[in-house]
Amino acid sequence: MVINGWTFTEAILQEDWNLLEITARGEDFTISINHQQVIAFSDSRLPYRSVAILIDIYGNAPGQIEFDFFALQPR
């Protein structure tokens, strides 16, 4: 799924660490940044469980992505 209609949010801390949380329950997804929900949607196209991370930095803007903790909690 591609999420279209990007908007800016005050949830993202500039020049600091940010906490990204993705909750998936069945076909319902919620994405939060620093404990602030930024989007919720449903997608029933994948009938099986899978995890993927895709990071795209647009244009020539410099960017740095680091993970200091990654957890998968199946329920």
> Whole domain around residue 36: which residue ranges?
18-43
Q: Is residue 23 part of a domain?
A: yes
The rounded percent of the chain whose pLDDT value lies above 90 is 17
Q: Which residue has the higher pLDDT, 56 or 18?
A: 18
Q: How many CA atoms lie within 13 A of 65 on its CB side?
A: 8
Q: Answer yes or no: is 11 within a domain.
A: no
Residue 74 maps to a domain: no
**Residue 32 placed within a domain:** yes
Please report whether residue 30 resides in a domain. Answer: yes
pLDDT, position 49: 67
